[in-house]
Every structure is written in C-alpha cells, then in structure tokens.
Structure 1
Amino acid sequence: GARHISKAQALEHVAGYALFNEGSVREYQFKSPQWTVGKNFDDTGAFGPDLVTADELPAGGKGLLLQTRVNGKVVQSANTEDMLFDVATIISTLSEAVTLEAGDVIVSGTPAGVGFGMDPKVYLKAGDIVEVSIEGIGTLVNPVVDEA
C-alpha cells in the first residue's frame, strides 16, 4: 500500500478509469442527520462497465466531456477539466489519511445538475433510465427500480 503520496507522483498510482453512478436515497437522507448512509443502500452504486487504462487517456483524465442523461435527456454536461479537485490532488489528499491499496476505487463526485438542486426539485422514479458517460471511457446505463 501507499501513504503520503505526493501530488507529483499520484498519477503513477492510477491503473485506470471507469464510471460510477451513485444514487442517493433522498427519503432516507431527509430523515437522518448523516447523508452518507443514503448514498450506500444496496444496489445504489453502479460501477463499470469497463476499465480504461490510464495510458489510454490524457494525464489525470483531464479535458473529457462528462454527461448524464435521464430518459435520453441531457441533465448534466461538464468537462473533467472543471473538477473542483483534480485526480492527483484527490489521491494525494486521501493518502494523507488512509493507506491506498492496489484495486482501491476512488470516486470523485458529480458535476452541477443534480435533480435535488433544481427548482422545482426533480427526483428519479422507477422506470427511469440513467446514462452516465465520459468521453474515452464509455457509457454506464442504469434502470431505476423500486426497492424489492
């Protein structure tokens, strides 16, 4: 494992990039003082569908178009260049607190455009199809289903 990774060496620790679609269970988040649990229900975090090796993309995955579509409509469109913290900074900062091991997955967050921030608020419902794509990586497609 590795700790205290410098920003200059951080990208040497990246095997590749994939997509992650984290679905928040807002009903739970509204009744809890801690939002994290509402982001970790069974089946609310999809990962994949492929891993693109780091050498197939620009350093740090910079300059790539990121989009989210719900039922075919673009609801988020951003560029990885506009991330609040770049990949090297995220890795360096995390490694100050935890030992990073081979195979660890680090998820960076979402661009502007989440339904909770809209006026009026928009929530996903059973039957919706969510597609997340990043240029050069691919598209992750997730159906929204009610909890069984």
Structure 2
Amino acid sequence: MAAYPLSVGEQVAAMKATWPQLLARNIDRRAQSVRWIGDVRPQHSRYTLEIRYRVGMAPQVRILTPVLVRLPDNVEGQLPHVYPPRDDPTLCLFDPENNEWNASMRIAETTVPWALDWLACYELWLMTGKWTGGGRHAGQPRIPSIEDRIQ
C-alpha cells in the first residue's frame, strides 16, 4: 500500500492533538499550506517556534525568539545545522538526501520532536562548542550522533 501525502487538515488536526500550544495560523486549504507558531521549552530556555508547511514540500522550522546565539570562532560554524539565510535561518532537522521525511508523515510526530532535539543539542553546543546531534552539512559525510556512537 503506497503512502499518500497527508492533507493540511490532517496535519493541523494531528498538531492540535499533540502540541496544542502550537497554534495554526494562515491555513490555506486551497494552497494546502499552514503556519504554526507557539512556545516550547526543550530544556533550559523557552523558544517560540514557527513551522511553515505546504503539502509536497518539507516543513521549515525557524526560531522566532530568542535570537539564536552564534559562536564566531567555532570549528563547526557560527551556528551549525541550519539553512541560510544567515539572518533568518531554518533548522536542519533531517537529511533530505536520505529520504528521512516525506509528506505522509505527521509533522507533530516527526518535525516537532526533531526541533526539540535540535534545540537541546543547540543548548549543549552553546555550553561545550561541540554539536552532538549528528547529521551532516551539505556536501559532507554524515556525522554520527551520540546514539550512533553508543551502539
């Protein structure tokens, strides 16, 4: 049985049931797009997330507040695992080349937990200067995560 893309309505319902603090805004059923905004607190700090989604495209996650801190001399970059532009980055949450996300997946069950994990790794990176979340930068081999190294 082939997986089918979930509609905006299905994504909105799943998000409301799982993450009620992330409020759907700008729902456009004709364009099959939606934007969620809300606060999360993965570890120490509170963040306001914005998730933008259009059926058939990968969700885009931004941190609206607080402004993400950059470490200018960090070997992994000033702010690792984000996509440009520099002044408004989106989080790199999965590897599109490895088909880690598709439109049949619920954003509430994938993207939001991945964003919380990214934020936890970000907070640790601010303290240690080391990115522990795994992944890879475009054109580079995948960096193993802590979980990969334990196995």
TM-score (norm 2): 0.29
Normalized per residue, the structure richer in strand is 1
Higher relative CO (Cα under 8 Å, sequence separation at least 6) belongs to: 1
